[in-house]
């Protein structure tokens, strides 16, 4: 079966949904978007506290790493959204762009047009922020951004303890002071519903006659002719199909699937492809390399009194909260379970934060309970500590020439000694915070890392035994100008005509924050690059703290 379009987008994730919307604003342009997952019409996709749905195989591709060489051979789970909206439909909805210096670094690496003043207009175009229109925020974009509503659950003691220790306090991590402790933002609307990329961009466009959305459509190979992308081969409903693009093929499958499709099509490290029986079309050694991820760890502290969100999970109260969310879009079900967060430096001489801490007023394994029937768990406070500027780099490769085989992924976390040292320093900083009033007065015991983990050597071993990922992987089709670069600053695949990659895989380094908002920004900017236009650069007079 053969279909013809102007553009074919492979992947309806965070960036792909944006591009599909923006390109089809022109009614003369015909677009096909292929999504290997299904529709996003399940109830729990909209529920803010339903983000734990990523644990279910029907929502998640359930990737995992190979045995991690610096973590004792442990395999780490790598959930990826198996649904319209991709991972934006199953993520924790925290809106974070990273530090302005992250994007200035991209520009310094040769990525012209990707400095902070270049990308800020695309962040603004994407969002409708609860703060309204400003120099740093958009007020009328498709993506709804709301204030985290959980601050009343122990946010104030955390911020006051940080204030007493001399940390900066900020009301907006994306404004003049992108450093310090403060409340967070989530991609939820005013009625407490998830604002995924699919809900924000794809659904409003799906009634357009020039947009075709194909779910359960698994791309297997690019159709190439004389090093020019002509179309995509895919399987749907058990049938092998082909779709052809008169203008361009756009890969937006994400950090693992975009390089996977390139390699299946003969574009990538030639020796690796030959080993699997794939004839190289173009030896592009950077495909699948430069994999960067935020390593993280949990801390847990038991509380003296039953003061955590667990008290709201008593079965009858939870049922009432759910009804309140359905009727009014308010209450504990209408927001992410986060009290506040921080971006801070572990060394004063650093130019920008190198760790991020999320403070959650509940244990990560919290379950509904009811007196006399299901026992209540112990009340605990949880923090997630994240390494923002990792030096370690991993890689991904094909497992075989079969498109259905999951790729082999090695994050290579803690390979670089500086990453280990930063994480060890961060443990002492978190302990100091929890030992400072008024937060200290709420704590009974430290459970993780625990009092038995004291020396630097013990902390390092604990990190290697327990380290997690924060699901912020980027970089496997890195943008740049060197030999390892896969795409140029226009996101065009080097050496192949009419082919671009437009998703988190093009980021040369991981931004110092969550990656959903940057991925949506990439989609916004990519749609203009494809159309040969560009928003004017922002004119900011950045303070020293924001520079």
Active site residues: 472
Residues with Cβ within 8 Å of residue 203, at least 6 apart in sequence: none
Question: Rounded CA gap, 253 and 259, in Å?
Answer: 9
Are 177 and 546 in contact by the 8 Å Cβ rule? The answer is yes
Task: Give the strand pairing for 295-303 and 443-448.
Answer: antiparallel
Tell me the torsion sign for CA atoms 476, 102, 200, 180: positive
Which residue in this structure is represented by tokens 């004389």? 226
Is 83 labeled as ligand-binding?
A: yes
Q: How far apart are CA 36 and CA 441, in angstroms?
A: 50
- What is the C-alpha to C-alpha distance for residues 164 and 161, in angstroms, rounded to an integer? 5
Q: How far apart are CA 477 and CA 226, in angstroms?
A: 21
> CB burial class (10 A; 0-12, 13-18, 19+) of residue 270?
middle
Residue 511: HSE in the Cβ half-sphere, 13 Å Cα cutoff: 27
Q: Describe the crossing of helices 14-23 and 516-531 by its angle, rounded to 10 degrees.
A: 30
- Alpha helix positions (H), 173-285: 197, 203-205, 254-264, 270-275
From the list 366, 364, 360, the residue with the least C-alpha distance to 310 is 366
Are the CB atoms for 312 and 318 separated by under 8 Å?
A: yes
User: Do the beta carbons of residue 259 and residue 253 sit within 8 Å?
Assistant: no
H/E element, 429: helix 417-434
Known binding-site positions for FAD: 83
Known binding-site positions: 83
């Amino acid at each position: 079966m053969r279909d013809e379009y102007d553009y074919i987008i492979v992947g309806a994730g965070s960036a792909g949904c944006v591009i599909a919307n923006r390109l089809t604003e022109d009614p003369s342009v015909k677009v096909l978007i292929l999504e290997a997952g299904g529709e996003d019409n399940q109830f729990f996709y909209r529920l803010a506290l339903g983000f734990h749905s990523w644990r279910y195989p029907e929502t998640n591709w359930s990737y995992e790493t190979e045995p991690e060489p610096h973590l004792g051979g442990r395999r780490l789970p790598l959930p990826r959204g198996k649904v319209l909206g991709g991972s934006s439909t199953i993520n924790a909805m925290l809106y974070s762009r990273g530090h302005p210096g992250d994007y200035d670094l991209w520009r310094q690496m040769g990525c012209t047009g990707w400095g902070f003043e270049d990308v800020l207009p695309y962040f603004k175009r994407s969002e409708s922020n609860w703060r309204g229109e400003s120099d740093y925020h958009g007020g009328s974009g498709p993506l709804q951004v709301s204030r985290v509503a959980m601050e009343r659950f122990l946010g104030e003691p955390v911020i006051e303890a940080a204030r007493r220790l001399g940390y900066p306090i900020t009301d907006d991590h994306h404004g003049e002071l992108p450093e310090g402790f403060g409340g967070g933002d989530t991609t939820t609307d005013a009625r407490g519903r998830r604002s995924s990329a699919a809900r924000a961009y794809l659904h409003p466009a799906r009634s357009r006659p020039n947009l075709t959305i194909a779910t359960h459509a698994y791309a297997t190979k690019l159709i190439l002719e004389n090093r020019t992308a002509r179309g995509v081969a895919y399987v749907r409903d058990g049938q092998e199909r082909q779709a052809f693009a008169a203008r361009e093929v756009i890969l937006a499958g994400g950090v693992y699937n975009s390089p996977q499709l390139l390699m299946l099509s003969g574009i990538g490290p030639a020796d690796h492809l030959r080993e699997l029986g794939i004839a190289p079309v173009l030896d592009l050694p950077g495909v699948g390399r430069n994999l960067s991820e935020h390593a993280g760890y949990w801390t847990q502290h038991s509380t003296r009194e039953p003061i955590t969100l667990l008290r709201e999970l008593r079965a009858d109260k939870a049922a009432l909260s759910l009804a309140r969310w359905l009727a009014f879009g308010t209450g504990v079900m209408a927001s992410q379970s986060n009290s506040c967060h921080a971006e801070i430096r572990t060394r004063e001489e650093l130019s920008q934060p190198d760790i991020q801490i999320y403070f959650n007023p509940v244990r990560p394994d919290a379950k509904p309970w009811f007196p006399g029937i299901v026992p209540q768990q112990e009340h605990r406070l949880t923090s997630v500590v994240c390494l923002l500027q990792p030096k370690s780099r991993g890689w991904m490769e094909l497992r075989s020439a079969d498109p259905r085989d999951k790729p082999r992924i090695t994050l290579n976390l803690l390979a670089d000694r500086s990453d280990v040292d930063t994480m060890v320093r961060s443990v002492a900083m978190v302990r100091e915070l929890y030992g400072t009033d008024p937060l200290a007065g709420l704590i009974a015991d430290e459970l993780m890392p625990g009092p038995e983990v004291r020396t630097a050597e013990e902390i390092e071993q604990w990190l290697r035994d327990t380290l997690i990922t924060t699901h912020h992987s980027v970089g496997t089709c890195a943008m740049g100008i060197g030999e390892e670069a896969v795409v140029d600053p226009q996101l065009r695949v080097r050496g192949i005509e009419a082919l671009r990659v437009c998703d988190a895989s093009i980021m040369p380094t991981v931004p110092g924050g969550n990656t959903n908002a940057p991925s949506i920004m990439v989609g916004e900017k990519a749609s203009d690059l494809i159309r040969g236009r560009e928003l004017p650069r922002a004119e900011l007079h950045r303070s020293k703290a924001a520079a």
